[in-house]
Protein backbone atom coordinates (compact mmCIF):
# COMPACT_ATOMS: atom_id res chain seq x y z
CA UNK A 1 0.00 0.00 0.00
CA UNK A 2 1.28 3.42 -0.84
CA UNK A 3 1.95 5.67 2.12
CA UNK A 4 -0.31 8.70 2.34
CA UNK A 5 2.24 10.87 4.10
CA UNK A 6 6.01 10.88 4.41
CA UNK A 7 5.81 10.46 8.17
CA UNK A 8 5.16 6.72 8.01
CA UNK A 9 7.49 4.58 10.08
CA UNK A 10 7.76 0.97 9.04
CA UNK A 11 7.67 -1.34 12.05
CA UNK A 12 9.77 -4.44 11.70
CA UNK A 13 8.17 -7.49 13.24
CA UNK A 14 11.20 -9.74 13.47
CA UNK A 15 10.99 -12.92 15.52
CA UNK A 16 12.65 -12.51 18.92
CA UNK A 17 16.33 -13.20 19.12
CA UNK A 18 17.71 -15.74 21.58
CA UNK A 19 18.71 -13.00 24.01
CA UNK A 20 15.22 -11.52 23.89
CA UNK A 21 13.59 -14.92 24.22
CA UNK A 22 15.37 -15.45 27.53
CA UNK A 23 13.20 -12.66 29.00
CA UNK A 24 15.52 -12.44 32.00
CA UNK A 25 17.49 -9.39 30.72
CA UNK A 26 14.27 -7.58 29.88
CA UNK A 27 12.82 -8.44 33.29
CA UNK A 28 16.01 -7.27 35.01
CA UNK A 29 15.82 -4.01 33.08
CA UNK A 30 12.21 -3.50 34.12
CA UNK A 31 13.03 -4.31 37.73
CA UNK A 32 15.84 -1.76 37.65
CA UNK A 33 13.45 0.89 36.35
CA UNK A 34 10.88 0.24 39.08
CA UNK A 35 13.63 0.16 41.71
CA UNK A 36 14.94 3.54 40.60
CA UNK A 37 11.47 4.96 41.23
CA UNK A 38 11.84 4.25 44.95
CA UNK A 39 14.31 7.14 45.19
CA UNK A 40 12.28 9.58 43.13
CA UNK A 41 10.59 12.60 44.65
CA UNK A 42 6.95 12.05 45.40
CA UNK A 43 4.75 14.79 43.97
CA UNK A 44 2.01 14.17 46.56
CA UNK A 45 1.29 16.95 49.06
CA UNK A 46 0.11 15.66 52.45
CA UNK A 47 -3.11 17.61 52.23
CA UNK A 48 -4.49 18.42 55.65
CA UNK A 49 -1.04 18.99 57.12
CA UNK A 50 0.32 20.86 54.12
CA UNK A 51 -1.63 22.92 51.63
CA UNK A 52 -0.70 24.12 48.23
CA UNK A 53 -0.52 27.95 48.17
CA UNK A 54 -3.48 29.52 46.37
CA UNK A 55 -3.15 31.99 43.57
CA UNK A 56 -3.72 35.60 44.77
CA UNK A 57 -6.83 35.80 42.59
CA UNK A 58 -8.34 32.60 44.03
CA UNK A 59 -12.09 32.96 44.59
CA UNK A 60 -13.33 31.01 47.59
CA UNK A 61 -16.02 31.59 50.21
CA UNK A 62 -17.40 35.09 50.68
CA UNK A 63 -16.54 37.37 53.57
CA UNK A 64 -18.57 40.40 54.66
CA UNK A 65 -16.02 43.01 55.56
CA UNK A 66 -15.88 45.56 58.41
CA UNK A 67 -14.06 48.86 58.46
CA UNK A 68 -11.16 49.74 60.79
CA UNK A 69 -13.52 50.57 63.65
CA UNK A 70 -15.33 47.29 63.34
CA UNK A 71 -18.47 48.62 61.65
CA UNK A 72 -20.18 46.60 58.93
CA UNK A 73 -19.52 48.14 55.55
CA UNK A 74 -22.54 46.66 53.77
CA UNK A 75 -25.39 49.11 53.10
CA UNK A 76 -27.73 46.56 51.52
CA UNK A 77 -27.79 48.41 48.20
CA UNK A 78 -28.42 45.11 46.41
CA UNK A 79 -25.88 45.62 43.63
CA UNK A 80 -24.21 42.31 44.42
CA UNK A 81 -27.54 40.51 44.16
CA UNK A 82 -28.17 42.22 40.80
CA UNK A 83 -24.72 41.34 39.56
CA UNK A 84 -24.95 37.71 40.66
CA UNK A 85 -25.49 35.53 37.57
CA UNK A 86 -26.52 32.56 39.68
CA UNK A 87 -28.99 34.55 41.81
CA UNK A 88 -27.44 33.19 44.95
CA UNK A 89 -27.61 36.35 47.07
CA UNK A 90 -30.66 37.63 48.96
CA UNK A 91 -30.79 40.39 51.50
CA UNK A 92 -33.15 42.48 53.54
CA UNK A 93 -32.32 46.08 54.34
CA UNK A 94 -33.01 47.88 57.61
CA UNK A 95 -32.54 51.41 58.85
CA UNK A 96 -29.88 52.15 61.41
CA UNK A 97 -31.40 53.28 64.69
CA UNK A 98 -29.88 55.93 66.89
CA UNK A 99 -27.21 54.40 69.10
CA UNK A 100 -26.15 51.80 66.49
CA UNK A 101 -23.54 54.02 64.90
CA UNK A 102 -20.79 51.78 66.23
CA UNK A 103 -22.27 48.75 64.49
CA UNK A 104 -23.06 49.97 61.00
CA UNK A 105 -21.14 52.49 58.99
CA UNK A 106 -24.02 54.00 56.97
CA UNK A 107 -27.63 54.77 57.79
CA UNK A 108 -28.85 51.64 56.03
CA UNK A 109 -27.59 48.15 56.64
CA UNK A 110 -28.32 44.50 55.74
CA UNK A 111 -30.50 42.96 58.42
CA UNK A 112 -30.42 39.66 56.57
CA UNK A 113 -27.73 38.67 54.09
CA UNK A 114 -27.71 35.17 52.68
CA UNK A 115 -25.65 33.45 50.03
CA UNK A 116 -26.64 30.01 48.82
CA UNK A 117 -23.29 28.32 48.36
CA UNK A 118 -24.87 25.57 46.28
CA UNK A 119 -26.01 28.13 43.70
CA UNK A 120 -22.94 30.31 43.86
CA UNK A 121 -20.51 29.80 41.00
CA UNK A 122 -17.72 31.77 42.68
CA UNK A 123 -17.38 34.12 39.72
CA UNK A 124 -16.53 37.12 41.91
CA UNK A 125 -18.92 39.51 40.19
CA UNK A 126 -20.43 40.49 43.57
CA UNK A 127 -17.01 41.54 44.74
CA UNK A 128 -16.59 43.71 41.65
CA UNK A 129 -20.08 45.18 41.89
CA UNK A 130 -19.81 46.25 45.53
CA UNK A 131 -19.35 50.07 45.81
CA UNK A 132 -18.50 49.84 49.51
CA UNK A 133 -15.77 47.17 49.47
CA UNK A 134 -18.08 45.14 51.71
CA UNK A 135 -17.94 41.72 50.12
CA UNK A 136 -14.79 39.77 49.36
CA UNK A 137 -14.03 36.28 48.16
CA UNK A 138 -11.62 34.59 50.55
CA UNK A 139 -9.21 31.70 50.09
CA UNK A 140 -11.29 29.08 51.88
CA UNK A 141 -13.75 26.92 50.04
CA UNK A 142 -17.12 25.59 51.13
CA UNK A 143 -16.77 22.70 53.55
CA UNK A 144 -19.00 19.63 53.27
CA UNK A 145 -22.39 19.70 54.96
CA UNK A 146 -25.11 17.19 55.74
CA UNK A 147 -28.08 19.28 54.60
CA UNK A 148 -28.85 21.66 51.78
CA UNK A 149 -29.87 24.21 54.35
CA UNK A 150 -26.39 24.14 55.77
CA UNK A 151 -25.07 25.59 52.57
CA UNK A 152 -27.13 28.77 52.88
CA UNK A 153 -24.70 31.04 54.65
CA UNK A 154 -26.15 33.87 56.72
CA UNK A 155 -24.51 36.85 58.28
CA UNK A 156 -23.11 34.79 61.14
CA UNK A 157 -21.01 32.70 58.77
CA UNK A 158 -20.12 35.50 56.39
CA UNK A 159 -19.23 38.42 58.68
CA UNK A 160 -15.57 38.84 59.42
CA UNK A 161 -14.78 38.94 63.19
CA UNK A 162 -14.68 42.35 64.80
CA UNK A 163 -11.10 43.74 64.73
CA UNK A 164 -11.65 45.50 68.07
CA UNK A 165 -13.19 42.75 70.17
CA UNK A 166 -11.66 39.73 68.40
CA UNK A 167 -8.37 40.96 66.92
CA UNK A 168 -6.87 37.45 66.66
CA UNK A 169 -9.77 35.94 64.75
CA UNK A 170 -9.89 39.03 62.56
CA UNK A 171 -6.22 38.70 61.66
CA UNK A 172 -6.73 35.02 60.91
CA UNK A 173 -9.71 35.73 58.68
CA UNK A 174 -7.70 38.36 56.85
CA UNK A 175 -4.95 35.81 56.29
CA UNK A 176 -2.41 37.99 58.17
CA UNK A 177 -1.49 35.17 60.54
CA UNK A 178 -1.72 31.43 60.11
Partner 1 sequence: MLGNLMAVDWGFVFEKLILIAVVVTVSLVVAMYETWAERKVAAVIQDRRGPNRAGPFGLFQPLADGLKLFMKEEIIPNSSNKLLFVMGPGLAMLTAMMTSAVIPWGSKIVLFGRTIPLQIADINIGILYIFGVVSMGVYGIMIGGWASNNKFSLLAAIRGASQIISYELAMGLSIIALLMLTGSLSLKTIIEQQQDHIYYVFFQPLGFLIFLICAFAECNRTPFDLSEAENELNFGYHQEYSSMKLGFYLFAEYINMFVSSAVMATLFFGGYDIPFVNDVSFGLHHGQNLLALLQTVSLLAKIACFVFFFMWVRWTIPRFRYDQLMDLGWKKLIPLSLVNMVVTGFLVLLRQNHWHF
Q: Which of 43, 53, 56, 98 binds partner 1 (CB under 8 A)?
A: 43
- State the Rg of the chain over Cα: 29
One-character DSSP codes across 50-90: S-PPPPTT---SEEE-B-TTS-B------HHHHH-TT--EE
Q: Which of 44, 55, 147, 177 binds partner 1 (CB under 8 A)?
A: 44
Q: Which is nearer to partner 1, 5 or 46 (CB)?
A: 46
Beta-carbon contacts of 101 under 8 Å, excluding residues fewer than 6 positions away, are 71
Q: Pattern of binders to partner 1 over 14-33, x per CB under 8 A? A: -------------x--xx-x
**CA distance linking residue 38 with residue 42, whole number of Å:** 9
Assess 35 for contact with partner 1 (CB under 8 A): yes
Q: Which of 2, 46, 55, 147 binds partner 1 (CB under 8 A)?
A: 46
Q: Which of residues 82-141 bind partner 1 (CB under 8 A)?
A: none
3-state secondary structure of 39: helix
Chain residues in the site for partner 1 (CB under 8 A): 27, 30-31, 33-35, 37-38, 40-44, 46
Amino acid sequence: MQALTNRVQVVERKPLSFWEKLYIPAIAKGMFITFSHIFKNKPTINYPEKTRPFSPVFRGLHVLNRDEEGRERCTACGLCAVACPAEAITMEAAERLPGEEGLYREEKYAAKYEINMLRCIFCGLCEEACPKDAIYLSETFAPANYTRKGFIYGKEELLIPDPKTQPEEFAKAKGLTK
